[in-house]
Amino acid sequence: MADLRVNIGGLEFKNPVTTASGTFGNGEEFEDFFDLDLLGGMFVKGMTLEPREGNDYPRMAETASGMLNAVGLQNKGVDHFIKEIYPRIKHFDTHIIPNINGSTVEDYIEVAEKLNEIETIPAIELNISCPNVKAGGMLFGTSCPSAIAVTEAVRKAYDKVLIVKLSPNVTDIAEIAKGVEGAGADSVSLINTLLGMAVDAEKRKSVLSTVTGGLSGPAVKPVALRMVWQVYNAVKIPVFGIGGIMNATDAVEFMLAGAAAVQVGTANFIDPQIPVKIIKGIENYLERHHFDSVSELTGAMEI
Amino acid sequence: MADLRVNIGGLEFKNPVTTASGTFGNGEEFEDFFDLDLLGGMFVKGMTLEPREGNDYPRMAETASGMLNAVGLQNKGVDHFIKEIYPRIKHFDTHIIPNINGSTVEDYIEVAEKLNEIETIPAIELNISCPNVKAGGMLFGTSCPSAIAVTEAVRKAYDKVLIVKLSPNVTDIAEIAKGVEGAGADSVSLINTLLGMAVDAEKRKSVLSTVTGGLSGPAVKPVALRMVWQVYNAVKIPVFGIGGIMNATDAVEFMLAGAAAVQVGTANFIDPQIPVKIIKGIENYLERHHFDSVSELTGAMEI
Amino acid sequence: MSKIIADHVVVEVRYPVNDSFIITLRSPVDIPDILPGNFAEIQIENTTGVFLRRPFSILDVDYESRMISFFIKIIGKGTKKLGEAKRGDKVSLIYPLGNSFSLPEPGKKVLIVGGGSGIAPFVLLGRNLKSNNNDVTFLIGGKSKKDVLVSSLFSGFGKVLTTTEDGSAGEKGFVTGHSLFKSGNIHFDKIYSCGPEPMMKAIGKIANRNGIDCEVSLENMMACGFGACLCCVTETIEGNKRVCKEGPVFNVNYLKWRI
Amino acid sequence: MSKIIADHVVVEVRYPVNDSFIITLRSPVDIPDILPGNFAEIQIENTTGVFLRRPFSILDVDYESRMISFFIKIIGKGTKKLGEAKRGDKVSLIYPLGNSFSLPEPGKKVLIVGGGSGIAPFVLLGRNLKSNNNDVTFLIGGKSKKDVLVSSLFSGFGKVLTTTEDGSAGEKGFVTGHSLFKSGNIHFDKIYSCGPEPMMKAIGKIANRNGIDCEVSLENMMACGFGACLCCVTETIEGNKRVCKEGPVFNVNYLKWRI
Ligand SMILES: Cc1cc2nc3c(=O)[nH]c(=O)nc-3n(C[C@H](O)[C@H](O)[C@H](O)COP(=O)(O)OP(=O)(O)OC[C@H]3O[C@@H](n4cnc5c(N)ncnc54)[C@H](O)[C@@H]3O)c2cc1C
Ligand SMILES: Cc1cc2nc3c(=O)[nH]c(=O)nc-3n(C[C@H](O)[C@H](O)[C@H](O)COP(=O)(O)OP(=O)(O)OC[C@H]3O[C@@H](n4cnc5c(N)ncnc54)[C@H](O)[C@@H]3O)c2cc1C
Ligand SMILES: Cc1cc2nc3c(=O)[nH]c(=O)nc-3n(C[C@H](O)[C@H](O)[C@H](O)COP(=O)(O)O)c2cc1C
Ligand SMILES: Cc1cc2nc3c(=O)[nH]c(=O)nc-3n(C[C@H](O)[C@H](O)[C@H](O)COP(=O)(O)O)c2cc1C
Ligand code: FES
Ligand code: FES
């Protein structure tokens, strides 16, 4: 059987299949469906320094082969995560990686510092690409200097593996990836959602309470693949590929385009057992194509 | 019956439904399917100063609710258009609008000057957003200063209605729209295709000969609607809404989000009679919702 | 609570009225306990424009023969396609999801008010209330006669009253205008309601005015249905809560409804 | 040429072999003249992953009863779904598209070489050649016996030879290794070929070596099928040409094939 392990900034993942932040809750909802120990890793719901109520309902619109969401980082704050949630989920034998968010650089630093104290949390994902909040969020990820600034600041406050999640709503994602690499990121993950919108023609109203929201699902896969490929060719740090992964073939495509590992997002809503099916499908692919290790797939695409 | 006429920079269109450049050939292929006189307008295949062979095959990949193309502006040059093609199609009682492209500002100017001489051509579309050519193309449309520079230059060379087609592959499309408005554009059209990519997992190869290509179809509609809305709120000139319009409801959504008129693209491949169906569907919508004129729809979306 | 995610086999699709159907499916495994108000997320494959699963209240269940059924109104692409399912087709279901209606003490008098597809949870609720020795009155509203035809589903569990907007069956008007409420003295200990939001709000108002405990079942837009996405929230006195997880059944006074 | 775009009614779907089917549909209007090599763009609705129409060569047509048929090999999602069509289903077709094979002078001797689903255009071609008084030999290749079963479709129009890779029918090997070619003196005035590109190239090479005129029918990826998108091009000595419009039939020497 092929070796499924991948290494991200010195941290070993038992396999390259992880779940994307905001699409997997804190994992608990999925215990009804499969053994979470099977996962390569779990990126838990985005958290902030203070609790947030998120945006008003409606927060969701279905689109062609995708969906828009405008959840807006509803969460009870990092302290609640550390005191209430983490103790309940830390027994899972998989990397639990918090996704951190802030309105200011100071917010990010404080959240990172608190998480730095939790010995068993081996990594954080710095979300500078949330399109659904008014202050901060995507703004950090759409300008190179601010992406660098927040990465540098968090880098100083955080000792372990730092993954920076990039926004696709930019002219040149490779440039920003290079920026955060220089600022000390151990890895980048992409893509977060594409900024989109839905209109209800009959009601002549925007569907989402926030007008715009984040597009995810298979609709965005071609854009995500392109960005992963561009970033892979621009940086040396490993890339998490994200965007519309619905099955093992999609996951393999991302790895061939340059991803060292993948995150499965929206697909969890349609088939909560999909991460396990993807792990098995990758194993099967490696066997059929005679690979010894999954890491051989990374960037192995011919042009 | 409601008034379907719309006005773009002083030019009256008999209805707001036009066909998008590169998806309608020079119109002739569609004569087999419907009476082209019914169209509000027809944006013909992108042309350049010199003939171009376009990119190598494969140029197309199907994606979830969309497609990627990498045609790369295959065309026989503006002179061929003026001498051979235009005389064959000018009898259609609809606005025939060339889509012009170049590798340098000088290219654009020369093409525009030549078309300026054709009295019965009332407008041109300046394509600064083609993702499928190596030089020029999208590069003009992804930086504000160069978008302004090429628009200003063509504005000087062209007396009639100047529509500038914007690239969605940017951080801030509203800023670029404002720039080209200031540079003298009479209208902006958006979106051109999103830069994407497809991978063949079994062959471990990129599907397109050019690796990346332009994504179109319903998959991109949420992004296109968002950009139309952003641009509508940023400029005073009328906006052509483009991106994944498959039926009259989609067209109405674009108008509610701020479009004064729409362009139908990829849908033509699946149903070559779709423009007429959309015109009828809009009429029907206006009647059901008691509008006197289609232009009342523009920007009429409640938040 | 253990959850099922599995392909079920369509046993029957029948149309009691034109625009609504009852679909019955057989589970490949034993069905866990289903409580009134629980729902399922049904995957409707190969349907242009349908990407996510669709939530539907569980109408009835037969544990012995492993049958589960739904009462579904055709309102868009997904429900239309599902209504075309043929015997033997496979359909993926996830259930049981959500919380459930709480039962009152035995002997208490309850009123159940439903409209449209909102009546689905009331078969299980009616049966449970009957076993609990409650005195149950159903009040079912619709546009016209055909919309309240399905009220026969409840006749085994209590008294059934109807209203129709066009007066073609039962009293003419909306449920909230039923003479039951006009009398001024409404002798119920508990009211349950499911249906269009304006109806539930009006019923909630009547309940509040009369000091009666009232539970409603919400139908928010859902992406997952099992608590993972936070898309389906509703405002409550304790902040935003997930309708799919903390709901769909809420006490009206827990909701931040301006009624 | 006037084109049809219309919903056709499925009359029959039958499977002569496991992985390929013949689908027959009735047109709502009179069918225009169909030439051998013409194809149709078929819309396969409600199939996840299928967005564009799919091109298929026209197998046969009955003008009187307005029937049109296709021979389709299941290779992916669209062809699988189409193969599940039931009598009475409606399917949208656009046709006739593309150019066609050119007929030689009456009396000339022709060879038709096909493999896989590439045999579809050869029923119409065979019939036309027969009316044109040509002496026709068919050479059909496949992996094994079942793949060349369909060669019976051609028996009315000329001699039929087969090859199979496993030797289970006809000569063992590829079509290009058939003894027909080994004799050294191949007495044909024209060769037609349709099938996998490597096969067509090999046949083209043989034709060239023997100074025989050779036409092939290409199967490029198409977005529209009627000349609008420029996606389906192939390199020719006159530059990029649209396979759907200037093709799908090309003379091998017109193509820039390195053979
Ligand atoms: C917990 C729960 C239980 C439900 N139980 C039942 C039931 O037992 N029987 C039944 O018939 N229906 C029930 N529904 C509603 C059902 O889920 C929708 O009717 C269905 O999802 C519509 O799918 P569609 O593809 O046919 O419609 P679409 O084509 O997706 O939508 C058609 C139109 O309806 C609107 N719409 C769709 N779903 C909703 C919604 N949930 N809220 C508001 N607007 C919506 C859309 O925005 C669109 O305008 C329930 C919903 C929930 C949340
Ligand atoms: C002019 C023309 C005539 C044709 N005539 C016939 C015919 O008579 N009978 C018949 O069975 N088939 C014919 N084909 C091929 C047929 O169009 C494809 O098999 C079909 O489109 C596959 O659809 P799908 O959804 O099943 O496959 P998909 O799920 O779309 O694809 C499955 C795999 O096949 C590849 N693929 C699909 N289509 C093509 C193609 N055209 N070229 C190369 N690779 C492809 C895909 O990239 C993918 O890897 C013809 C094609 C053309 C262009
Ligand atoms: C409902 C929802 C909530 C999300 N919340 C977060 C979040 O809190 N933090 C984050 O970094 N990304 C968030 N995302 C983005 C996903 O992690 C992922 O980047 C994106 O959905 C693209 O992947 P997909 O197409 O597989 O879903 C969210 C996505 C969805 C659909
Ligand atoms: C095959 C193809 C070729 C295209 N060629 C051009 C072109 O020459 N010039 C141009 O401005 N846009 C071109 N486009 C972009 C379309 O005009 C349109 O902006 C885009 O496809 C989005 O609209 P749609 O989703 O309705 O197709 C092309 C699109 C496709 C699919
Ligand atoms: S629908 Fe996802 S949390 Fe309720
Ligand atoms: S497929 Fe569109 S031009 Fe040939």
- Find tokens 């350049």 and name the residue: B48
Chain C interface includes D84 (CB < 8 A):
no
Sequential DSSP letters for chain B: --B--EEETTEEESSSEEE-TTSSTTSGGGTTTS-GGGSSEEEPPPB-SS-B--PPSP-EEEETTEEEE-----B--HHHIIIIIHHHHTTSSSEEE-EE--SSHHHHHHHHHHHHT-TT--EEEEE---TT-SSSTHHHHTSHHHHHHHHHHHHHH--SEEEEEPPSSSS-HHHHHHHHHHTT-SEEEE--PEEEE-EETTTTEESSTTSEEEEESGGGHHHHHHHHHHHHTT-SS-EEEESS--SHHHHHHHHHTT-SEEEE-THHHH-TTHHHHHHHHHHHHHHHTT-SBGGGGTT--B-
Structure tokens at A24: 């997997």
Interface test with D, best of C43, C48, C90 (most D CBs within 10 A): C48
Q: What is the dihedral of CA B101, B104, B110, B112, to 10 degrees?
A: 40
D207-238 as b/e, with b when 16 or more CB fall inside 10 Å?
bbeeebbbbbbbbbbbbbbbbbbbbbbbebee
- Find tokens 């170049």 and name the residue: B102
Q: Are A83 and A108 in contact (CB under 8 A)?
A: no
* Res A137: pLDDT: 66
pLDDT 10s digits, C194-237: 999 999 999 999 999 999 999 999 999 999 999 999 999 999 99
Domains annotated on chain B, with CATH = 6-54+73-194+217-297 (3.20.20.70)
The rounded distance, in Å, linking the Cα atoms of D170 and D178 is: 9
Beta bridge partners of B99: B125
Q: How confident is the model at residue B137 (pLDDT cuts 50, 70, 90)?
A: low
Structure tokens at B274: 């779709």
* Res C225: pLDDT: 98
- Of B130, B133, B185, B191, the active-site residue reads B130
Calculate how close chain A gets to C51, using CA atoms only, in Å: 6
Q: What is the D242 CA–ligand 6 centroid distance (Å)? A: 6
* Res D18: pLDDT: 82
The rounded distance, in Å, linking the Cα atoms of B293 and D159 is: 68
The rounded distance, in Å, linking the Cα atoms of B42 and B263 is: 9
Structure tokens at C162: 């109807």
Beta bridge partners of B220: none
Q: Which amino acid is at C110?
A: V
ipTM of the complex in this document: 0.96
Structure tokens at A217: 């699902």
* Res C259: pLDDT: 75
β-pairing, A41-43 vs A17-19, is: parallel
State if residue C240 touches ligand 5 by the CB under 6 angstroms criterion: no
Q: What is the A263 CA–ligand 5 centroid distance (Å)? A: 20
- Give the residue from chain B lying closest to A210, CA to CA: B303
What's the burial of A203, exposed, middle or buried (CB within 10 Å: 0-12/13-18/19+)? exposed
State if residue B73 touches ligand 4 by the CB under 6 angstroms criterion: yes
Residue A144 annotated among the catalytic residues of the structure: no
D126-148 as b/e, with b when 16 or more CB fall inside 10 Å?
bbbbeeeebbbbbbbbbeeebbb
> What residues are in contact with ligand 1 under a 6 Å CB criterion?
C 39, 50, 54-57, 70-73, 75-79, 117, 120, 219-222, 248
Q: Which amino acid is at C212?
A: I
Structure tokens at C236: 């409550």
State if residue D227 touches ligand 6 by the CB under 6 angstroms criterion: yes
Close Cβ partners of C85 (under 8 Å, ≥ 6 residues apart): C10, C13, C23, C91
Sequential DSSP letters for chain A: --B--EEETTEEESSSEEE-TTSSTTSGGGTTTS-GGGSSEEEPPPB-SS-B--PPSP-EEEETTEEEE-----B--HHHIIIIIHHHHTTSSSEEE-EE--SSHHHHHHHHHHHHT-TT--EEEEE---TT-SSSTHHHHTSHHHHHHHHHHHHHH--SEEEEEPPSSSS-HHHHHHHHHHTT-SEEEE--PEEEE-EETTTTEESSTTSEEEEESGGGHHHHHHHHHHHHTT-SS-EEEESS--SHHHHHHHHHTT-SEEEE-THHHH-TTHHHHHHHHHHHHHHHTT-SBGGGGTT--B-
Which residue of C50, C230, C235 is in closest CB contact with A71? Answer: C230
- Cβ neighbours around C58 below 10 Å, total: 27
H-helix or E-strand spanning residue C78: helix C77-82
pLDDT digit string (tens) for chain D, length 259 residues: 579 999 999 999 999 888 999 999 999 999 999 999 999 999 999 999 999 999 999 999 999 999 999 999 999 999 999 999 999 999 999 999 999 999 999 999 999 999 888 899 999 999 999 999 999 999 999 998 888 888 889 999 999 999 999 989 889 999 988 988 886 668 899 999 999 999 999 999 999 999 999 999 999 999 999 999 999 999 999 999 999 999 999 999 999 987 7
What is C4-97's CATH number, 2.40.30.10, 3.40.50.620, 3.30.565.10, 3.40.50.2300?
Answer: 2.40.30.10
Cα B16 from chain centroid (whole Å): 13
Close Cβ partners of C198 (under 8 Å, ≥ 6 residues apart): none
Cα C114 from chain centroid (whole Å): 8
The rounded distance, in Å, linking the Cα atoms of A11 and A2 is: 19
* Res B139: pLDDT: 77
Alpha helices for chain D (secondary structure H): 77-82, 122-131, 145-148, 179-182, 197-209
pLDDT 10s digits, B197-254: 999 999 999 999 999 999 999 999 999 999 999 999 999 999 999 999 999 999 999 9
Q: What is the D198 CA–ligand 6 centroid distance (Å)? A: 22
- φ/ψ region of B137 (left if φ > 0, alpha if ψ in -120 to 50, else beta) reads left
* Res B134: pLDDT: 66
- Give the residue from chain C lying closest to A70, CA to CA: C231
Give the residue extent of every domain in chain C. Answer: 4-97, 109-217
Q: Is the pLDDT of residue B300 over 70?
A: yes
What's the burial of C29, exposed, middle or buried (CB within 10 Å: 0-12/13-18/19+)? exposed
Q: Which amino acid is at B155?
A: R
On the question of a common fold for D4-97 and D109-217, the answer reads: no
Contact list, D232 vs chain B (CB under 8 Å): 57, 59-60
Q: Whose CA is nearest to atom 4 of ligand 4?
A: B22
Q: Which ligand is nearest to the CA of A132?
A: 3
Q: Whose CA is nearest to atom 40 of ligand 1?
A: C221
Q: Are A20 and A41 in contact (CB under 8 A)?
A: no
Contact list, C45 vs chain D (CB under 8 Å): 48
pLDDT 10s digits, A205-229: 999 999 999 999 999 999 999 999 9
Close Cβ partners of C44 (under 8 Å, ≥ 6 residues apart): C50, C53, C54, C78, C81, C82, C91
Beta bridge partners of B126: B100, B164
Q: How confident is the model at residue B15 (pLDDT cuts 50, 70, 90)?
A: very high
The rounded distance, in Å, linking the Cα atoms of D158 and D127 is: 9
Ligand 4 atom with the shortest distance to the CA of B192? 19
Q: What is the mean pLDDT of residues B143-155?
A: 94
Q: How confident is the model at residue B21 (pLDDT cuts 50, 70, 90)?
A: very high
* Residue of A264, A80, C239 whose CA lies nearest to A88: A80
State if residue C97 touches ligand 5 by the CB under 6 angstroms criterion: no
Q: What is the mean pLDDT of residues B42-49?
A: 96
The rounded distance, in Å, linking the Cα atoms of C18 and D161 is: 58
Q: What is the A64 CA–ligand 4 centroid distance (Å)? A: 18
The rounded distance, in Å, linking the Cα atoms of B156 and D137 is: 66
Q: Percent of chain C beyond pLDDT 90?
A: 83
Interface test with B, best of A200, A223, A231 (most B CBs within 10 A): A223
* Res A131: pLDDT: 73
- Find tokens 């008010």 and name the residue: C113
Q: Are D259 and D201 in contact (CB under 8 A)?
A: yes
Q: How confident is the model at residue C182 (pLDDT cuts 50, 70, 90)?
A: confident
The rounded distance, in Å, linking the Cα atoms of A61 and A70 is: 9
* Residue of A125, A191, A111 whose CA lies nearest to A161: A125
Q: Which residues of chain A have pLDDT under 50?
A: none
* Res A303: pLDDT: 87
Mean pLDDT over all residues of chain B? 96
Cα angle B143-B145-B149, degrees, rounded to a multiple of 5:
115
- Cα-atom radius of gyration of chain A, to the nearest Å? 18
CATH topology for D109-217 is Rossmann fold (3.40.50)
- Find tokens 């300046």 and name the residue: B126
